[in-house]
Amino acid sequence: MKEPDLEENRLTARIENGQLEIERHAAGQPVSPEAFVTAPDGKRQPLTLTRTNGVWHATAPATMPGIWSVRQDGLVAFASPVSHDPIERQDLRATATVMGASAKASGGSVSWIADHTPHLRQVPTGSAMSGSDWMGLPVTTAAVAGETRTKDLVPAWAALLAALIFLAIGWWREGH
């Protein structure tokens, strides 16, 4: 069916509150009550499933971060713990509190354009990167490409001749 939730014979695994929860559906098929759980560090341990209302269940502690795998009767399921404080949910606003330490460590400062627009200056590397009404951009000595030249791989007349030859060969072959 290609719909995992509707399959009659399926193995699912998920991690919630530090527990690996395994569920096995097997409509009318013999099921081995033993599943093998592989922890993120590679340790493999057997786990016995118990049957309740036609569905097999088991739980095990999942204390390690990483991907856990469960294998039973040729089926495989994977589970990974969900972080409750992922970086995507953190406050990513650039506030003076967040950026201040980084700016000070690099010799710079934090200023807001809404207060006043600082002037930009190029300053030598290693000197102060900011002042009361200016911000510095370090001078770099990176190489700059000033000119590029292109050269044809094949002269145009040779490419045209090759195209005509292949066209003639194709036309001749199609006719025979």
pLDDT tier, 2 (very low <50, low <70, confident <90, very high otherwise): low
pLDDT tier, 14 (very low <50, low <70, confident <90, very high otherwise): very high
For the beta sheet containing 34-38, the strands, ordered from the edge strand earlier in sequence to the opposite edge, are: 44-48, 34-38, 68-72, 75-79
DSSP string, the chain: ---GGG-SEEEEEEEETTEEEEEEEETTS---SEEEEE-TTS-EEEEE-EEETTEEEEEEE--SSS-EEEEETTEEEEE-PPPSS-GGGS-----HHHHHHHHHHTT-----TTT--PEEEEE-TTS--B-SSEEEEE--------------SS-HHHHHHHHHHHHHHHHHHHH-
pLDDT digits (tens, 9 = 90+) for 110-123: 887 877 888 888 98
- The pLDDT assigned to 109 comes to 82
Check residue 66 and give left, alpha or beta (phi > 0: left; psi -120 to 50: alpha). Answer: left
Domains of the chain as residue ranges with CATH: 4-79 (2.60.40.10), 94-136 (no CATH)
The tokens for 167 are 């066209």
Quote the CA–CA distance of 100 and 112 in Å, as a whole number.
12
In one-letter notation, the amino acid at residue 142 is: A
pTM, rounded to two decimals: 0.46
pLDDT tier, 93 (very low <50, low <70, confident <90, very high otherwise): confident
- The pLDDT assigned to 70 comes to 94
